[in-house]
RNA sequence: GCCCCUAUCGUCUAUCGGCUAGGACACCAGAUUCUCAAUCUGGGAAGCCGGGUUCGAUUCCCGGUGGGGGCGCCA
């Protein structure tokens, strides 16, 4: 194991931002690539929040993406506790050190009232050696020049983000801070804090931000900003992860589809983009489609089952039957949330029928009913109920009747599934089984509510 | 207001000074197909602007402009 130690330090707001998810991914990939350690630290400084569930949103989200941490909640580790709220003594100790060394001082704010502790910030420009942005030298700006020192402990005794963040990173021996570029301007403050505490600043790597499709900042209220939206919409973790890793990072080749192992192998900081990236829903959707087709069947079942269960389609269904159904619809729906509508007719007799499909297939051609009846007779004589035998039987019948196979296929599809689109007809018939198919063909006229 | 980052097809990106600027998504056209997809072939589509450096700049430097971020007793 190398000496690299990185961390993802989210605040439990009950919400995992897609940008945060990517930050976590980059940290994870860097840790795995270097053989280092990935730490998860929860920055729950705000007392009056229901952190229980909020923390779970984060841990569930990370696990969903397949990002496991080496130290953190549920796992512990040698540098805990991993909840900031449980580290108050440590923070207090460090504040005292700053006070003792005169790097910080108590300050009575006459205007607002109350006494705070302020850090004596350097007046000199500070250079941030950044692994992605290069050396960034930042002088104080006009407002900072007016009052360079900043508050590190509030009047209620609670230390602020800048302080606890730096202290925890020191204590947890973090070597590389990979975080959003929105923190770049504040990094001089952090470096000054490190110096005042006699600690070697870690390496910094500020990654570009994720923007909305129109280029505006992606904030919490924006559609598509939360990871759980993608989870609920039925995206595959593999697809989201793959898409996210390509936002602001490039493997420097034409490959687009990358397994986790390939990402880990190729990921490094110099290939991280320096400019912000817009979130391209279309590309994510395409990538999702790729995974929907190529996911191993077992994985497809694993990810699809919850959506079927939620729709109440799985009760009493044999496991093997479910697997066979999913095997033939794989690649058809683009999202797992669409799975129920693609498969209802496999699980219920009262499946919905698409009026438009019925009208189009039977509307202008009353002979379709006769053809359907003939097809039923034909199928009734098929003893080897396999898609190949059914395929052959149907084509033979079409030939002897002097019609195109399609004239039988379409009515049959609508009769057994209620819709015009679906998986390969013959595979559908095979999985549905002979009894059910013959029954549906016989009942087609009433069931399709057509006379 | 001040400070910082940034700038290649609509979008994500490749290019370590030599470019007829490559790939992917999306889009358009055709092929194929039992539906829907998928797949295949082809097409249109970019170096923000202005200076410099150089034999030569998309690539390096400066300025402008655009975009983003920061300047809290938020994180």
What are the sequence ranges of the domains in chain A? Answer: 295-347, 355-448
DSSP secondary structure letters along A103-147: SEEEEE-TTT-SEEEEE---SS-EEEEETTTEEEEE---HHHHHS
Nucleotide with the nearest C1' to A290 CA? B38
Residues of A with a known catalytic role: 220
- Residue A449: predicted pLDDT: 66
- Which has the closest alpha carbon to A117: A132, A106, A101, A129? A106
Judge: domain A355-448, CATH 1.10.10.350: yes
Structure tokens at A369: 């009913």
Distance A334 CA to B5 C1' (A): 37
Q: Phi/psi at A153 (nearest 5 deg)? A: -135, 125
Residues A361 and A296: their CA atoms lie apart, in Å, by 35
Low-confidence winner among A169-178, A253-262, A442-451 (lowest mean pLDDT):
A442-451
- Residue range A177-218, pLDDT digits in tens: 999 999 999 999 999 999 999 999 999 999 999 999 888 888
User: In chain B, which nucleotides are within 7 Å of a protein Cβ?
Assistant: 1-8, 10-15, 22-26, 34-39, 67-75
Residues A379 and A377: their CA atoms lie apart, in Å, by 6
Nucleotide with the nearest C1' to A140 CA? B3
Q: What count of residues does chain A have?
A: 451
Low-confidence winner among A35-39, A191-195, A390-394 (lowest mean pLDDT):
A390-394
Q: Which pTM value belongs to this model?
A: 0.93
CB atoms near residue A364 (< 10 Å): 9
- Residue A49: predicted pLDDT: 57
Is the pLDDT at A355 greater than 90? The verdict is: no
Contacts of A362 (CB under 8 A, 6+ apart): A368, A369, A411, A414, A448, A450
- Residue range A131-140, pLDDT digits in tens: 999 999 999 9
Distance A281 CA to B30 C1' (A): 28
- pLDDT exceeding 70 applies to what percent of chain A? 98
Nucleotide with the nearest C1' to A153 CA? B73
CB A104 within 8 A of CB A119: yes
- Residue A451: predicted pLDDT: 41
Distance A300 CA to B39 C1' (A): 21
pLDDT band at A367 (very low <50, low <70, confident <90, very high): confident
Residue A213: helix, strand or coil by DSSP?
coil
Low-confidence winner among A289-298, A313-322, A361-370 (lowest mean pLDDT):
A361-370
- pLDDT exceeding 90 applies to what percent of chain A? 80
Please state, in angstroms and as integers, the Cα–Cα distance from residue A442 to each residue in A113, A133, A355, A370, A371, following that order. 84, 70, 19, 11, 12
Residues A246 and A248: their CA atoms lie apart, in Å, by 6
Taking the alpha carbons at both ends of chain A, their separation in whole angstroms is 73
Q: Give Rg (Cα) of chain A.
A: 30
Residues A53 and A15: their CA atoms lie apart, in Å, by 10
Is the pLDDT at A51 greater than 60? The verdict is: yes
ipTM of this predicted structure: 0.94
Structure tokens at A437: 């198919």
Is the pLDDT at A328 greater than 90? The verdict is: yes
- Residue A47: predicted pLDDT: 58
> In what helix (H) or strand (E) does residue A323 lie, and over which residues does it extend?
helix A319-329
- Residue A31: predicted pLDDT: 97
Nucleotide with the nearest C1' to A213 CA? B11
Q: What is the mean pLDDT of residues A32-51?
A: 84
Is the pLDDT at A63 greater than 80? The verdict is: yes
- Residue A222: predicted pLDDT: 84
Question: Edge to edge, what strands does the sheet with A134-138 contain?
Answer: A37-40, A5-8, A176-180, A203-207, A126-130, A134-138
Q: What is the mean pLDDT of residues A276-304?
A: 95
Distance A254 CA to B22 C1' (A): 9
Distance A253 CA to B19 C1' (A): 18
- Residue A50: predicted pLDDT: 58
Structure tokens at A152: 């590190």
What residue has its CA nearest to the C1' of B37?
A332
Mean pLDDT over each residue of chain A, to the nearest integer = 92
Is the pLDDT at A343 greater than 80? The verdict is: yes
What residue has its CA nearest to the C1' of B22?
A254
Q: What is the mean pLDDT of residues A216-245?
A: 92
Q: What is the mean pLDDT of residues A376-386?
A: 91
- Residue range A98-124, pLDDT digits in tens: 999 999 999 998 888 899 999 999 999
Which residues, in sequence order, are bridge partners of residue A92? none
What residue has its CA nearest to the C1' of B11?
A280
Is the pLDDT at A176 greater than 70? The verdict is: yes
Residues A20 and A43: their CA atoms lie apart, in Å, by 13
Q: What is the mean pLDDT of residues A164-176?
A: 97
Q: Is A53 exposed, middle or buried (0-12, 13-18, 19+ CB in 10 A)?
A: exposed
CB atoms near residue A8 (< 10 Å): 25
Low-confidence winner among A42-56, A62-76, A159-173 (lowest mean pLDDT):
A42-56
Residues A37 and A254: their CA atoms lie apart, in Å, by 30
Instruction: Give the Cα-Cα-Cα angle A49, A219, A56 (nearest 5 degrees).
Output: 35
């Amino acid at each position: 194991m190398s000496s690299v130690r990185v961390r993802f330090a989210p605040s439990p707001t009950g919400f995992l931002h897609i940008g945060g998810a990517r930050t976590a991914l980059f940290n994870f990939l860097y840790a795995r690539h270097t053989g280092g350690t990935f730490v998860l630290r929860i920055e729950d400084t705000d007392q009056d929040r229901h952190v229980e569930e909020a923390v779970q949103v984060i841990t569930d989200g990370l696990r969903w993406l397949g990002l496991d941490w080496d130290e953190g909640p549920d796992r512990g580790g040698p540098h805990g506790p991993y909840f900031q709220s449980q580290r108050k003594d440590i923070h207090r100790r460090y504040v005292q050190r700053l006070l003792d060394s005169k790097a910080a001082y108590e300050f009575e704010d006459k205007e607002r009232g109350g006494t705070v502790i302020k850090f004596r910030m350097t007046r000199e420009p500070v250079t941030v050696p950044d692994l992605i942005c290069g050396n960034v030298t930042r002088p104080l700006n006009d407002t900072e020049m007016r009052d360079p020192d900043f508050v590190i402990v509030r009047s209620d005794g609670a230390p602020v983000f800048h302080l606890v963040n730096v202290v925890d990173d020191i204590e947890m021996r973090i070597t590389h801070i990979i975080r959003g570029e929105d923190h770049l301007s504040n990094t001089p403050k952090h470096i000054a804090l490190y110096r005042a505490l006699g600690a070697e600043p870690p390496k910094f790597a500020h990654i570009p931000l994720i923007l909305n499709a129109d280029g505006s900042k992606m904030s919490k209220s924006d559609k598509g900003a939360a990871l759980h939206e993608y989870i609920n919409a039925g995206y595959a973790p593999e697809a989201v992860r793959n898409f996210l890793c390509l936002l602001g990072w490039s493997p420097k080749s034409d490959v687009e589809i990358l397994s986790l192992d390939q990402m880990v192998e190729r990921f490094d900081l110099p290939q991280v983009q320096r400019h912000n990236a817009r979130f391209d829903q279309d590309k994510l959707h395409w990538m999702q489609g790729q995974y929907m087709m190529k996911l191993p069947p077992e994985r497809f079942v694993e990810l699809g089952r919850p959506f079927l269960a939620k729709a109440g389609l799985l009760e009493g269904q044999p496991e093997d039957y479910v697997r066979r159904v999913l095997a033939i619809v794989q690649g058809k729906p683009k999202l797992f949330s669409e799975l129920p509508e693609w498969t209802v007719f496999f699980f219920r007799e009262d499946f919905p029928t698409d009026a438009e499909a019925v009208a189009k297939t039977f509307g202008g051609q009353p002979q379709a009913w006769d053809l359907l009846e003939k097809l039923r007779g034909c199928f009734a004589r098929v003893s080897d109920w396999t898609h190949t035998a059914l395929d052959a039987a149907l084509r033979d019948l079409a030939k002897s009747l002097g019609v195109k196979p399609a004239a039988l296929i379409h009515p049959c599809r609508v009769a057994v599934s209620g819709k015009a689109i679906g998986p390969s007809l013959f595979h559908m018939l095979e999985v549905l089984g002979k009894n059910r198919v013959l029954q549906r063909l016989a009942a087609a006229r009433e069931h399709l509510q057509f006379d």
